[in-house]
């Protein structure tokens, strides 16, 4: 069993590609998971889709055909040519895949390093895959260790202090433009997690907020939480709001833009649109009176965030490296233990059968069977000492899985305790 991670992020793909790959609703996620799992080579699979990344984490019998299958499935889903996906993707194998998972969980690979959303998104991705019986103990154990690693990074560094998210960066950009948001009114389109965060940061910066949403139940509950500075209205009045206020933040799960030229009128003031959705919510023709910021346009603030947190990030990476080593040791130890058990079990079974045959055929007429058994055990222990030692040592060998497979083949352990069922 091998680990594989195929990653498309803000580092290797721009937003126009990410929005084609985005799995922004459960129906899309389910369809892609079923397509990926259609290969018998892929045993477990999880898909993670956020505004900054689409990642496929899998356990497979053979990495190369698994990689080709995953890229082919993503090409079918997104309409992007396979060659382009191969060229753009960061592909991590085995220890590299585990290291990347731990880095992502610890928010070290996020657009905004130290943001707190990613771990929850990762847990939800695993839960969703598990609900469809798409992932099992191998990936679940990797996530368990990744969560523990993320907790260490959070507790032992300052990297997540004063948490920052894409939503907060967008609000920070608005403050940079206006100098202050005190007394301003901002429209927030969408009452999901990103919209809620944007609304909270706007209010804490002194702005009033109007949340526009499709579902009334969700937005009513959110506005009650936000307090006196917040109000809400139906998304059916979106056109009125985008033509009445300077600041518009949008983060819905719509599969296509909801704010386009056809609903935007000329007004006597400049408007600033912050599109924090993937796929994008906003497609407007640029003009002197309209400025649109997407997730990828927030680089300056993000770079400042990276510089501020660089020292803490180095500490965090050392924690990740250590925890990855601990996980890989756990995996390798779990591989060698059943091998040693199977080897000794097989040897004892053969010895017992041969002893029974010898007794039945009269080969031990003048011998005590118990003494004969002791002698056989001594011979087996002497013979198995070196193979047992070697098998225990594979925990320290980077080719542990290959050695384990070879041992299973040589000793015919297919009916014994399986190596790929180590958890």
- CB within 8 A of 259, min separation 6: which ones? 189, 238, 242, 248, 250, 273, 281, 282, 283, 284
For domain 2-162, give the fold.
Beta Polymerase; domain 2 (3.30.460)
User: Binding site annotation covers 192?
Assistant: yes
For residue 419, pLDDT over 50 is answered with: no
User: Helix, strand or coil for residue 290?
Assistant: strand
Predicted pLDDT at 369: 80
List 51, 59, 73, 149, catalytic entry = 51
Strand ranges (DSSP E) for 30-178? Answer: 42-49, 53-60, 90-93
Please report which confidence band the pLDDT of residue 306 belongs to, taking 50, 70 and 90 as the band edges: low
Say how far apart CA 11 and CA 113 lie, in whole Å. Answer: 13
Predicted pLDDT at 418: 41
Say how far apart CA 283 and CA 279 lie, in whole Å. Answer: 11
* 339: nearest Cα among 397, 409, 270, 258: 409
Which range among 41-55, 193-207, 264-278, 329-343 shows the weakest confidence by mean pLDDT?
A: 329-343
User: Binding site annotation covers 117?
Assistant: yes
Predicted pLDDT at 249: 97
Angle between helices 137-156 and 117-131 (to 10 degrees): 170
Of the chain, the percentage scoring pLDDT greater than 70 comes to: 93
Predicted pLDDT at 398: 63
Give the mean model confidence (pLDDT) for residues 248-265.
Answer: 94
Q: 208 with 230: CB under 8 angstroms?
A: yes
Q: 211 with 188: CB under 8 angstroms?
A: yes
Peptide bond into 338 cis (omega under 30): no
Q: What is the pLDDT of residues 313-322, one digit of tens each?
A: 889 999 999 9
User: Binding site annotation covers 195?
Assistant: yes
User: Binding site annotation covers 51?
Assistant: yes
Q: What is the pLDDT of residues 31-72, one digit of tens each?
A: 999 999 999 999 999 999 988 899 999 999 899 999 999 999
Please report which confidence band the pLDDT of residue 293 belongs to, taking 50, 70 and 90 as the band edges: very high
Of the chain, the percentage scoring pLDDT greater than 90 comes to: 57
For residue 415, pLDDT over 60 is answered with: no
Please report which confidence band the pLDDT of residue 100 belongs to, taking 50, 70 and 90 as the band edges: very high
User: Binding site annotation covers 191?
Assistant: yes
The answer to whether 51 is a known catalytic residue is yes
Which range among 81-85, 87-91, 394-398 shows the weakest confidence by mean pLDDT?
A: 394-398
User: Binding site annotation covers 50?
Assistant: yes
CATH superfamily for domain 166-288: NAD(P)-binding Rossmann-like Domain (3.40.50.720)
For residue 278, pLDDT over 80 is answered with: yes
User: Binding site annotation covers 52?
Assistant: yes
pTM flag (> 0.75)? no
- The answer to whether the 2-162 and 166-288 domains have the same CATH topology is no
Strand-pair category, 290-294 with 42-49: unpaired
Please report which confidence band the pLDDT of residue 417 belongs to, taking 50, 70 and 90 as the band edges: very low
Please report, for the chain, the start and end positions of each structural domain, with discontinuous segments joined by +.
Answer: 2-162, 166-288, 323-411
Q: What is the pLDDT of residues 131-176, one digit of tens each?
A: 999 988 889 999 999 999 999 999 999 887 766 778 888 999 999 9
Give the mean model confidence (pLDDT) for residues 361-370.
Answer: 78
Better-predicted residue by pLDDT, 407 or 82:
82
Predicted pLDDT at 355: 83
Say how far apart CA 241 and CA 267 lie, in whole Å. Answer: 12
């Amino acid at each position: 069993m091998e680990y594989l991670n195929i990653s498309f992020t803000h580092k290797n793909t721009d937003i126009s590609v990410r929005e084609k790959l985005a799995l922004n609703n459960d129906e899309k996620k389910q369809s892609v998971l079923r397509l990926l799992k259609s290969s018998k080579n892929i045993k477990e699979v999880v898909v993670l889709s956020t505004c900054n990344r689409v990642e496929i984490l899998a356990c497979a019998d053979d990495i190369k055909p698994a990689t080709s299958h995953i890229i082919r499935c993503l090409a079918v889903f997104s309409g992007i040519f396979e060659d382009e996906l191969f060229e753009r993707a960061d592909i991590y194998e085995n220890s590299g895949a585990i290291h990347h998972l731990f880095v992502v969980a610890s928010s070290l690979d996020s657009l905004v390093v130290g943001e707190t959303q990613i771990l929850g998104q990762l847990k939800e991705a695993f839960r969703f895959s598990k609900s469809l019986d798409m992932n099992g103990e191998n990936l679940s154990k990797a996530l368990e260790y990744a969560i523990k690693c993320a907790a260490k990074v959070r507790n032992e560094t300052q990297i997540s202090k004063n948490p920052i998210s894409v939503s907060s960066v967008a609000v920070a950009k608005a403050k940079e433009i206006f100098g202050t948001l005190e007394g301003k009114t901002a429209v927030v389109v969408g009452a999901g997690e990103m919209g809620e965060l944007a609304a909270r940061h706007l209010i804490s910066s002194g702005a009033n907020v109007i949340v526009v949403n499709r579902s009334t139940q969700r937005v009513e509950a959110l506005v009650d939480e936000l307090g006196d500075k917040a109000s809400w209205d139906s998304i059916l009045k979106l056109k009125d709001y985008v033509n009445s206020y300077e600041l518009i933040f949008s983060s819905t799960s719509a599969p296509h833009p909801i704010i386009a030229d056809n609903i935007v009128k000329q007004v006597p003031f400049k408007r600033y649109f912050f599109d924090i959705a993937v796929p994008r919510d906003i497609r407007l023709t640029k003009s002197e009176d309209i400025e649109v910021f997407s997730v990828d346009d927030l680089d300056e603030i993000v770079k400042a965030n990276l510089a501020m947190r660089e020292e803490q990030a180095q500490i965090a990476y050392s924690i990740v490296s250590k925890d990855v080593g601990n996980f890989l040791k756990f995996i390798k130890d779990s591989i060698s233990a059943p091998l040693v058990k199977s080897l000794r079990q097989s040897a004892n079974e053969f010895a017992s059968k041969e002893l029974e045959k010898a007794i039945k055929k009269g080969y031990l007429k003048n011998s005590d069977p118990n003494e004969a058994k002791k002698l056989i055990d001594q011979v087996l222990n002497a013979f198995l000492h070196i193979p047992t030692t070697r098998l225990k040592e594979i925990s320290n060998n980077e080719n542990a899985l290959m050695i384990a497979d070879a041992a299973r083949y040589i000793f015919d352990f297919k009916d014994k305790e399986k190596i790929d069922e180590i958890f």
